[in-house]
Every structure is written in C-alpha cells, then in structure tokens.
Structure 1
Amino acid sequence: MDPPRTRSGVLLTTSTSRRRNRTVVRVDGEARARDAGRLEAELLAACGTTKLVVLDFTGLTFLGGKVLTVVLAAHEAASTRGHQLRLVVDSPAVSAVLRVSGVGALLAVFGSLRDALAATG
C-alpha cells in the first residue's frame, strides 16, 4: 500500500513503540518543514523518558533541512540526559543528506534496526 499523498508530496507518518528502556520511532514518507514540529515533539518526549531512542528512517524517502535540525535537537536532548539517539538509514538519498550536511558524523547511524538495537555503548 502506498503512503498517503498531498499535492506537495507524500505525507509523513510516524509510529512509536516502547519497550523497557528503549523507544523506536519509525518515520515513513517525506520529512519536510511542515512535519518538523510534530516530529520534534515526539522525539523530545522520547529522548526525555527513555535511555535509548532509535529513529528508524528506513521508510523515509526525503529528509529536509528543518527536520535535520530537529534530529540534532533530539540528539542534544538525549545526550544532555545521558541517553542515546541512534538513526537507522538505508536510503541512498537520506544517507547523502546526512553525509553532505556532516550530521551523519555526529550521530550513531546504522543500516538496520536490528544493528541499532544490538549495538552497545
């Protein structure tokens, strides 16, 4: 089933699952400026309450600059509390945004959810 669309592109959808001391936030569609506030609220809440937050971008097809700023703010919020934010990325387009912006070098980025959850440290 294709994700919902609007005139300006594919809608961003998120789903969150919590278990013990970890939260997985799955993001699908296109992460554009219009989605930044909603995603920021979800990520900051997760980073404040769980030791490990995994941001699963495997369903993401576009990553805009405003949302990239939200990811950095969530990383900062997690780090301040001694928590971790990990990213899961398998899209060449999203990987390129992380690489070119330099954000990928600041965050723990994994190729699969399994690897992100299994990593220690």
Structure 2
Amino acid sequence: MNWYIEALKKYAVFSGRSRRKEYWFFVLFNVIFSFVLGFIDGMMGNVHMESGMGLLGGVYSLLLLIPGIAVSVRRLHDTNRTGWWVLLGLIPIIGALVLLIFMIQDSTPGENDYGQNPKDAIA
C-alpha cells in the first residue's frame, strides 16, 4: 500500500524514475479498488448499461488518470526510454503488449538520462 500512496504523492510528476515495485503495486491497487467500486456501483444500480461503468468507478478513473500516466512515464524513464512511449497504448493489442514488456523490464543500472536509479537510493 505504501507504493500506491507514494505514486499518489507524485500526482503529476512526470520527471524522474519509478521502480517496478511502485508501478505494479499502483496497478494492483487500482484493479482492486476498481473491482470494489464496480461491485458497489452494481449494488446501488448506478451502472450505465452502454458503457458498463458506474458513477463511483467513473469518478475514480478520472481522478487517477493523471497519476496513472505519470507513474507510467516515470517507469519508462527507469528503463531509459522517453515518456512519449506511453502513447503506444493507443495502438490496439500490439501497443499494449509492447508497453507490458517495457514495464516488466528491470531498471537501467546506475544513473541514466532521467536520474539516479531508485533502487540505489533506497539501498
């Protein structure tokens, strides 16, 4: 949970680097909270049938749009790639698979163009 909160503290910080742990815990907690909010929306009858999204889930998604993009950009920086690679997600299937591979890769050792390795800072 600390990694999720850490990502939220850097709400719109697009510079620097984020470890795999920070990125994947952010994704994990977003999925968990989305399922819970979807369940609550379903129980309250707030689900729009055409979009499949409820009021609480929609508000949550909008609130976490910017931090989600920011942590993705910082994760790409950690693999020594520019944040513009996040736009690959707009390409159906192939773009998402390429981004998944980038997000799974280990950090660039030492310092890169985007700053010091966050693993070195903690150790």
Q: TM-score, with normalisation over the residues of structure 1?
A: 0.31
* More strand as a share of residues: 1
The structure, 1 or 2, with the larger RCO (C-alpha pairs under 8 Å, 6+ apart) is 2
Rg larger in structure: 2
Q: TM-score, with normalisation over the residues of structure 2?
A: 0.31
* More helix as a share of residues: 2
